[in-house]
Amino acid sequence: MKPSPDNKYNAVLDRIQNYFKTNGESTLGMIYVQGISVITIEGALQRLMRHKLITRRQVCIKEGSSRVLWAYRLTDQKESLVTFTPTPSRTKGTPSSLRNRNRIKERSAEKAKRYSTDPDSWTMDQEPEHYKLLRTLPLPPFEGYPELEAA
């Protein structure tokens, strides 16, 4: 008899819980269970967290680093990973980058104005080539409405 998917997944959850029992607190990069992919481990960790069987906290493993990782452990275990205070990282909202963003917005607004779809607002340089061609073609004589021909 083939095991149901729930039984298979429960076996994965049991193996991951056993990993934490033997190895203690670990980050995702440290967790290795033979025959289980990283994606499956991530899904199992999420499920175990939903059932409040494991907890997580943020740790900085290397001194002088600004990189922060999630460390997972069983709820009844003590914190075992040494963590350092992360160095402040560069913020994304520096004045120079804000100036660059504003400059990019101005350029895109100018470009949108320059390449407007309204043919009346085009200058001769902006006019598409096929419009120039159509404008320069001779028009046939107007025939059919004598009252308009007289005007």
Per-residue pLDDT tens digits for 3-27: 455 677 788 899 999 999 999 999 8
In a domain, residue 84? The reply is no
DSSP-assigned beta bridge partners for residue 71: 27, 57
Q: Last residue of some domain: 74, 89, 121?
A: 74
More confident residue, 134 or 150: 134
Confidence at residue 1, expressed as pLDDT on a 0 to 100 scale: 40
| 102 and 70 fall within a common domain | no
| 69 and 9 fall within a common domain | yes
Query: Domain limits at 118?
Result: 98-137
| 104 and 60 fall within a common domain | no
pTM (2 d.p.)? 0.55
| 11 and 70 fall within a common domain | yes
Tokens 């607190």, located at residue: 25
Whether 63 contacts 69, CB under 8 Å: no
Residues with Cβ within 8 Å of 24's Cβ and at least 6 positions away in sequence, in order, are 73, 77, 80
In a domain, residue 132? The reply is yes
Tokens 């007289």, located at residue: 150
In a domain, residue 117? The reply is yes
| 13 and 65 fall within a common domain | yes
Question: 57-108: per-residue pLDDT in tens?
Answer: 999 988 888 889 999 999 999 998 888 888 887 666 566 666 777 788 888 7
**Burial (0-12, 13-18, 19+ Cβ within 10 Å), 45:** buried
In a domain, residue 108? The reply is yes
Query: Token pair of 80, please?
Result: 């075992």
